[in-house]
Each structure stands twice: as structure tokens, then as C-alpha cells.
Amino acid sequence: ASRRSLHRSVPSWAPPLIPIVVEQTGRGERAYDIYSRLLRERIVCVMGPIDDGLASLVIAQLLFLQSESNKKPIHMYINSPGGAVTSGLAIYDTMQYVLNPVCTWCVGQAASMGSLLLAAGAPGQRHALPNARIMIHQPSGGARGQATDIAIQAEEILQLKRQINGIYAKHTGQPLAVI
């Protein structure tokens, strides 16, 4: 075979490879995808942009772990540039709804909605690894249309800013003026 065919790159459209973990049990070998194995250890991963798809997976995992035990902590690892506010708030609301303490860990980055989820972890259980980056910012958006529509959208984004700042203040203990 030519050298070129031995070093083909994976096409950009190819789905990501998900590692499989094989464990020995009393009944033989058992294979798990890595995320299922982590879920058994009560670890939830929030990796990548936050959208409705990721929110659905994270919410389902949080609810499942609460149904397994509503006292044992859940560990949420976050590496996210942020994303859709509504999706992030859905995850946030579920974190507040479950009875379990949710310990949050920033690995890589927690920006925008990712930083809000990090801040929403249980008091004393919010962590960032040494090279992690955390960033908060004001909500942004683009408004188009008639003047009345733009005014409505501007008021909505200001209300959203107040709501998000209130969440940061609640979980960090910092006054709104600092946030």
C-alpha cells in the first residue's frame, strides 16, 4: 500500500468516535460507551455549544440520576463556549429542581451559559481546573424589523440580562453591582 493511503485523515463529516470501555463482571465481559460508564459514576458531561439537543441529554441524565438516588452528589463537567440562553436555563432549572447536590467542574472553558451552569453548582462544590477559562458577558442579540418590534426585543434582552445577573448574584453571593 502506498504511504498516502496509510495516512488518510478522517473526513470532517464523519461522526465522532466514542470510546468503549470493557469491564469484567461475574457473568463475563460487559462493554459500555464511555458516557454510559461515566453516568454510572454519576458524572454528566456538558461539552460543546449548549443547544436544545445537548440540554435534552443533560436534563435526562440529571433526572435519571435523581431517580437512582436523590442524596448522592452528581458531578457535572463543563467545557462549553456557551450557547442558547433558553437551553442553558433549562439545564439550570433542572439543576435547581433535582434534590441532589450538583458539583460543577470547569475543564477547558465555561463561557457565557457555560459559566452560569458552573456558578449554579452546589455551594463549596464549584471547581475549575488550573488551566480552565471562565467568562461571563452581557446577553447579545440582533434586532431587525419595525421600530416597535426592535423596542420589544430590546426590552426582552434587558429583562433577560436582569434575570441572568440575578442568577449569578444568587449563586456567587456577589452584589448585582459587581456582576
Positions annotated as catalytic residues are 112, 137
SS3 144: coil
Contact 34, 18 (CB under 8 A): yes
Contact 50, 79 (CB under 8 A): no
CA proximity to 111, closest of 127, 134, 90, 87: 134
CA proximity to 116, closest of 142, 95, 141: 95
Q: Specify the DSSP class assigned to residue 145.
A: S
What are the cell numbers at 112? Answer: 457565557
